[in-house]
Each structure stands twice: as C-alpha cells, then as structure tokens.
Amino acid sequence: MAAHEPATLDSVAARAGVSRQTVSNVLRHPARVAEATRERVLAAIRESGYRPSLPARQLATRRAHAIAVRAERQQDGISGLVLDAFYHGLAEAGQDNGLRVVLYAQPADEAAELEIIDDLVQTGAADAVVLTATSADDQRPAYLSGSGTTFCAFGRPWGHDDEPHDWVDVDGARGTGLAVQHLLDLGRRSIAYLGWPGDGAEPSTGSDRRRGWLETVEAAGLGAPVEARSLNDAAAAEAAVASLLSGADAPDAIVCASDTLALGAHRAAVAAAGGGTPATVVGFDATPVAAALGLVSVAQPIDQAAHLCIDLLTGRFETPDRPARGVLVPPVLHLPA
C-alpha cells in the first residue's frame, strides 16, 4: 500500500494475516475473537493508522461506541493522580476496543448525576457508564440496574452484595497486609495505622485497608493495635501522627491509608526523631510524592483495573444476560529505587 493511501479493512486484514470479517469482529464484537488474534489485529490497526468511520459504525450497530465516566472534582493533588491514571487506562483500553471515553463533570449530588447518565444513554451519546467512588450508601448501582443501563463500577458494592453488578476493585486489605509484613521483615514491632475518619464503621475502601493492617498485626501477636485518624490532608495527618509519637509507647512504624497521609506522617516522624532514626512510614498508591520521599508504598494496578472495566463492558455488550462478575485485583508493594 502506498504511503499516501488510507488504511482500509482489507489492508489491515492483509497486514494481520486474517480475514476482513475478523477485523470487523475485533472492532464490533471483540469478545468473539481469540485474544492472540485480537491483539495481532489491534497491532495492525495501530501500525497502519486505520480509523474506522464512526458514523458508519453507529448506524451499523445502533450504538454510540462510547463509555461515560465522571470527572471527579480535584480534592487532593496527590491522591488525584490515581484517578488520572484510571482515566488514561480507560481511554487506552477503550481505544483498543473501538470505544471513546466521554467525561461528565461531577454534579452536586447523586440524583443530579443519575439525570446526566440518563440523558447520555437515552440520547445515544454513550452506551454504558463506569462508576467511580462507590460507597455503602451509594444508590447509583441499584438505580442503573433497575433502569437497564449497562455499567461497571470501579469499586466494590460495599454492603450491597444482594444487588449484583459488574465491578473491578483493588484488594486494599491485601495491600496493607503486605505493608505490615514488610515492616515485620525490617524488624519493626510496634506498627500503627493512620486511616481516615469512619474507617471500620461500615464497609468502605478505608475499612478494607484498615482490616488488612489489623489482621496482619494481630496474626503477628504484636499486642494492642495503635491507630489514629485524619482527614486526607497532609497537614492534618502530620498533627495526628505528632500526637501519636509523643507518648511513651510511640510506634516504630506507621502504615497509612494513602500517600497524602504518608506525607504528613513522614514529616511528623522526622520531626519527632530530632535527628535520630524516624519511625518508618509506608504509604498507599505509590505516587511520585512517595517515591521522592523514598517511602515504600502500596501500588494499585490502576491500568489493569481500567482495562478490566472495559473488558467487562464489552463482554456485557456481547452477552447482556450473563451473570454479574466482580474482579478483585491484587496490589504490589513498591520499593523506592
């Protein structure tokens, strides 16, 4: 094919060594194609620069080929990096599956958000939704299930196991358990926890992370667990840990529910040490801030989670009535270079 000629289905098929129909299936019905073949076709599409006609695909499939997701308000420049990575992963996975990602602004409340979702789906602007920031009092999954809207949640159905739907989440308890085990391997024997207000009161991301710390500490027989609470703010975390370290039985290590908390905890630990060896701090999210401070942090496989969300949605497009599926992704401990 000459360099100036646009790529076509036929040229992509020739490059990938498959039929024209196989290329079409990869674009329209990816679940029908074996993974190895699908990856070969996607590589040929990227290499050739092929761009399918969106209006033609919409007419043929009666779908928008678009996924909607809420753009969260910026609350914390550190923790916000996690969602940025998630959005990028969704866009990348969507592109590989012929899907666009449509962002909608975070509204004032759930009712307003559900109106936005209804409008996007009913007007044909989006085929499905990816929910974020799920919680125990989240009414969005039940509403979307009842309205027949295709969706996947990045986050478990906290406390709503009787309302099954597709979801992907990171195993936070496993992550903090890894953090405690790392500290035990370093010889730490008084391992405190710095979490968020309300952790443990009801099922939530924070409660899950706290559970992993608590179970691992108790299994190690380290005595009465010590913990503190703080808003997800570095200054507030610093104050909370300063108080924790001021007592006679100050811990020699602290596991934190986020890297934002770890930043404040690290500051307080350094100040309390007065030039000596500070308490060891482990964060959660493996952000560049933790790396810059030389802190160990739990890394969430965000890109993998985003790709799994797209996989669940494309599978749902293919088989609308299949049973709901939840995927719990294991995190890893990120050690500073």
Regarding whether 94 and 200 lie in a shared domain, the answer is no
Residue 178 lies in a domain: yes
> How many independent structural domains does the chain possess?
3
Regarding whether 271 and 203 lie in a shared domain, the answer is yes
Higher pLDDT, 288 or 58: 288
Location of structure tokens 């990045």? 154
Is pLDDT above 70 for 70? yes
Residue 277 lies in a domain: yes
Regarding whether 176 and 263 lie in a shared domain, the answer is yes
Mean pLDDT over 81-106 rounds to 92
**Confidence at residue 12, expressed as pLDDT on a 0 to 100 scale:** 87
Regarding whether 143 and 107 lie in a shared domain, the answer is yes
In three-state secondary structure terms, 332 is strand
Residue 24 lies in a domain: yes
- CATH number of the domain encompassing residue 42: 1.10.260.40
Regarding whether 31 and 124 lie in a shared domain, the answer is no
What digits encode the pLDDT tens for the residues 9-45? 888 899 999 998 888 788 767 778 888 998 898 888 8
DSSP per-residue letters across 123-141? TTS-SEEEE-S--TT--HH
Residue 218, beta-bridge partner list: none
**Confidence at residue 60, expressed as pLDDT on a 0 to 100 scale:** 47
C-alpha–C-alpha distance, residues 122 and 107, integer Å:
19
In three-state secondary structure terms, 299 is strand
Which strands form 191-195's sheet, in the order they lie side by side? 227-229, 191-195, 253-256, 280-284, 296-299, 332-334
Regarding whether 189 and 120 lie in a shared domain, the answer is no
Alpha helices in the chain (DSSP H): 9-16, 20-28, 35-48, 54-61, 80-96, 110-122, 140-147, 172-185, 205-219, 234-245, 259-273, 288-293, 302-318
- CATH number of the domain encompassing residue 130: 3.40.50.2300
What digits encode the pLDDT tens for the residues 248-260? 889 999 999 999 9
Regarding whether 308 and 291 lie in a shared domain, the answer is no
Question: Nearest CA to 192 among 243, 267, 260?
Answer: 243
C-alpha–C-alpha distance, residues 167 and 205, integer Å:
14
**Confidence at residue 154, expressed as pLDDT on a 0 to 100 scale:** 96
Q: Which domain holds residue 19?
A: 9-52
Regarding whether 148 and 30 lie in a shared domain, the answer is no
Round the average pLDDT of the chain to a whole number and report it: 90
Mean pLDDT over 201-215 rounds to 93
In three-state secondary structure terms, 72 is coil
Mean pLDDT over 123-145 rounds to 93
**Confidence at residue 62, expressed as pLDDT on a 0 to 100 scale:** 58
Regarding whether 164 and 176 lie in a shared domain, the answer is no
Regarding whether 307 and 164 lie in a shared domain, the answer is yes
**Confidence at residue 1, expressed as pLDDT on a 0 to 100 scale:** 42
Question: Nearest CA to 182 among 225, 212, 224?
Answer: 212
- Indicate yes or no: pTM above 0.85: no
Mean pLDDT over 145-161 rounds to 91
Regarding whether 285 and 207 lie in a shared domain, the answer is yes
The pLDDT-based confidence of 247 (bands split at 50, 70, 90) is confident
Regarding whether 256 and 176 lie in a shared domain, the answer is yes
